[in-house]
Amino acid sequence: MLETGCRLRVTHWRTSDQKMRWCAAALGAMERQFRRVKHYRQLPLLKQALQNKLVLANSAA
Protein backbone atom coordinates (compact mmCIF):
# COMPACT_ATOMS: atom_id res chain seq x y z
CA MET A 1 0.00 0.00 0.00
CA LEU A 2 2.74 2.43 0.95
CA GLU A 3 4.92 1.78 -2.08
CA THR A 4 1.96 1.97 -4.42
CA GLY A 5 0.96 5.38 -3.07
CA CYS A 6 4.52 6.68 -3.19
CA ARG A 7 5.12 5.40 -6.71
CA LEU A 8 2.13 7.29 -8.04
CA ARG A 9 3.53 10.57 -6.73
CA VAL A 10 7.24 10.08 -7.36
CA THR A 11 8.45 8.92 -10.74
CA HIS A 12 12.19 8.89 -10.05
CA TRP A 13 13.95 8.13 -6.77
CA ARG A 14 17.29 9.91 -6.63
CA THR A 15 18.74 8.40 -3.46
CA SER A 16 17.69 5.99 -0.77
CA ASP A 17 17.54 8.95 1.66
CA GLN A 18 14.92 10.56 -0.54
CA LYS A 19 12.96 7.32 -0.63
CA MET A 20 13.03 7.11 3.18
CA ARG A 21 11.82 10.71 3.53
CA TRP A 22 8.90 10.13 1.16
CA CYS A 23 7.94 6.90 2.90
CA ALA A 24 8.09 8.58 6.31
CA ALA A 25 5.87 11.38 5.01
CA ALA A 26 3.40 8.84 3.60
CA LEU A 27 3.30 6.92 6.89
CA GLY A 28 2.73 10.17 8.77
CA ALA A 29 -0.21 10.98 6.51
CA MET A 30 -1.67 7.48 6.90
CA GLU A 31 -1.22 7.52 10.68
CA ARG A 32 -4.30 9.73 11.08
CA GLN A 33 -6.43 6.96 9.59
CA PHE A 34 -5.19 4.23 11.97
CA ARG A 35 -7.48 3.13 14.75
CA ARG A 36 -6.42 2.84 18.35
CA VAL A 37 -6.30 -0.70 19.73
CA LYS A 38 -8.65 -1.05 22.67
CA HIS A 39 -7.33 -2.78 25.80
CA TYR A 40 -3.76 -2.74 24.49
CA ARG A 41 -2.42 -3.06 28.04
CA GLN A 42 -3.86 -6.57 28.19
CA LEU A 43 -1.97 -7.79 25.11
CA PRO A 44 0.89 -9.29 27.18
CA LEU A 45 -1.70 -11.39 29.08
CA LEU A 46 -3.15 -12.61 25.78
CA LYS A 47 0.31 -13.48 24.51
CA GLN A 48 1.09 -15.49 27.64
CA ALA A 49 -2.25 -17.32 27.49
CA LEU A 50 -1.68 -18.26 23.85
CA GLN A 51 1.84 -19.48 24.59
CA ASN A 52 0.55 -21.60 27.47
CA LYS A 53 -2.12 -23.09 25.21
CA LEU A 54 0.51 -23.93 22.56
CA VAL A 55 2.73 -25.61 25.13
CA LEU A 56 -0.19 -27.71 26.39
CA ALA A 57 -1.22 -28.63 22.85
CA ASN A 58 2.35 -29.62 21.91
CA SER A 59 2.86 -31.70 25.06
CA ALA A 60 -0.44 -33.53 24.51
CA ALA A 61 0.41 -34.36 20.91
For the chain, domain boundaries: 2-60
Largest CA distance in the chain: 56
Mean pLDDT of all residues belonging to the chain? 81
Q: Which of 56, 51, 1, 52 is nearest to 29 (CA)?
A: 1
Q: Is 4 helix (H, G, I), strand (E, B) or coil?
A: helix
pLDDT bucket at 43, cuts 50 / 70 / 90 = very high
- Over residues 3-7, the mean pLDDT reads 53
Residues 6+ apart with CB under 8 A from 19: 6, 13
- Over residues 12-29, the mean pLDDT reads 82
pLDDT bucket at 2, cuts 50 / 70 / 90 = low
